[in-house]
Structure 1
Amino acid sequence: MKIRIVAGGPEHLIPDLKEYDSTTDCLWIGVDRGTLFLLRQEIVPQYAFGDFDSVTAAEKNMILHKEIKVNLYRSEKDLTDMEIAVEWALEQSPEELLLFGATGGRLDHELMNTQLLYKSRFSKVDVRIIDIRNEISLKLPGTYEVEQDKKYTYFSFLSHSEVVKGITLKGFKYPLDNADLKAGSSLCISNELVNKSGTYSFDCGIILMVKSRD
């Protein structure tokens, strides 16, 4: 099963969601105003989570009358609507979890949504944040292969821990061999593949990989 969550980030940053739709094994979740964005793209989600304080009364009433399993919450709570939805999705053990509408807008929400990737660190779920220019994922120590993608020209690697040890980049314009990447360092920003594919590996720490385009 594949799960897609659409949150209420700026709508213009959300790509064409039908490109990520698979009618056979795809489950869609709307988070607050993200539910409305899904309906505007003619996708009716199976579930919706939120307090729905970012939609009008008429929009909320319209959502409630759709064939959607709506989970309503109070505005005053300890978790964001997005965190509630992500935790629920991970409990379903999908093979893939894509998050849309998670970037742009309020910076605190964007940073928090990026940190939600940390929740998947001990699972085998492929979790990614996607907008029209970026794809973000969190990686634990190991060796990973990446391929050229017309959507994304640049590859950046950021330390999501105090230090990432033993990072090696092969097949990239700026290769590395057993280097250390410290938090706050721009050493691995805006790299590019020189071959059709390349690999990156590291021995210790946590990496946030960002694939992007101008």
Structure 2
Amino acid sequence: MIVNILAGGPSEFLPDLFTYDDSSVTWVGVDRGVITLLSKGINPQYAFGDFDSVTSEEMISIKEKVSEIQKFKPEKDQTDLELALNWALFTNARKIRIFGATGGRLDHLFANIQLLIKGIQHSRIDIEVIDNKNIVSMKQPGTYSITKMKDKQYVSFIPITPTVSGITLRGFKYPLKDCHIPIGSTLCISNELINEHGTFSFSKGILLIIRSSD
């Protein structure tokens, strides 16, 4: 099962959601993201949020069309998106995709990107933050295969721990071998695959992987 979560970020940053929809997908709307899904003809199975950004008429529509709704008070210790993600982590999902998490407020953006750490903490569940130009994931030490994407040709590797050690890139325009990169370094920004497939590996730290179009 794949869980697709749509948060309440600006809709102009969304990709075509139907390209991520199939019979294996469970859709979850977060706060105003529920209305966005319904407006696009996608009925989410679940809805999470305090719903302070929807009108009373929109809330009636949500109650009519969504079978499982978890409503929270606005005063809480977690964002609506984190609450939805926590739920998704305890399903049988093999992958979680998050949409509507970029654009708008920078505090929300940075908080949403940090939520990717939960995939590492919960048995390496694959979590991605996706918008119309980027796919963002987070990895712990290991060796990973990567496939060229025509619409997202740039691949960046960003340390989010004080140091990432032993990073090796194969099949890239700018290869590396057993390199140590401190946080704040831009060494691994805007690389590109030269083959259809490549690999990256590292031995210590946590990396943010961002695949982008120009």
Q: Deviations over 1:41-82 (max 9, x none)?
A: 111000000011111221122112213311111111010000
Offset at residue 94 of structure 1 (A): 0.6
Are positions 1:111 and 2:110 aligned together?
A: yes
Gaps of 5+ in 1: none
Offset at residue 181 of structure 1 (A): 1.1
What corresponds to 1:30 in structure 2?
A: 29
> Aligned partners of 1:184 and 1:68: how far apart in 2?
45
> Aligned partners of 2:104 and 2:210: how far apart in 1?
19
For the residue of structure 2 that corresponds to 1:65, the secondary structure is helix
Which one-letter code corresponds to 2:114 in the other structure? Q
**Which deviates more from structure 2 when the two are superposed, residues 91-100 or residues 57-66?**
57-66
Query: Aligned pair count?
Result: 213
**Native 8 Å contact 1:44 1:68 kept in 2:** no
- Percent identity (aligned): 49
For the residue of structure 2 that corresponds to 1:71, the secondary structure is strand
Which one-letter code corresponds to 2:8 in the other structure? G
Offset at residue 93 of structure 1 (A): 3.2
What corresponds to 1:98 in structure 2?
A: 97
> What do you get for the CA RMSD once the two structures are aligned?
0.9
Which one-letter code corresponds to 1:134 in the other structure? N
> Aligned partners of 2:58 and 2:98: how far apart in 1?
22
> Aligned partners of 2:31 and 2:203: how far apart in 1?
39
Gaps of 5+ in 2: none
What corresponds to 2:193 in structure 1?
A: 193
Q: Report the TM-score when normalising by structure 1.
A: 0.97
**Native 8 Å contact 1:93 1:125 kept in 2:** no
**Native 8 Å contact 2:46 2:66 kept in 1:** no
> 1:48-63 to 2 correspondence within 5 Å?
48-63=47-62
**Which deviates more from structure 2 when the two are superposed, residues 192-201 or residues 53-62?**
53-62
What corresponds to 2:142 in structure 1?
A: 142
> Aligned partners of 1:18 and 1:48: how far apart in 2?
19
> Aligned partners of 1:103 and 1:50: how far apart in 2?
18
Q: Deviations over 1:137-186 (max 9, x none)?
A: 00010111111111201000000111000001111111111001111110
What corresponds to 1:212 in structure 2?
A: 212
Greater than 6 Å deviation, 4+ residue runs: none
> Aligned partners of 1:14 and 1:3: how far apart in 2?
16
Which one-letter code corresponds to 1:173 in the other structure? K
Q: Report the TM-score when normalising by structure 2.
A: 0.97
What corresponds to 2:156 in structure 1?
A: 156
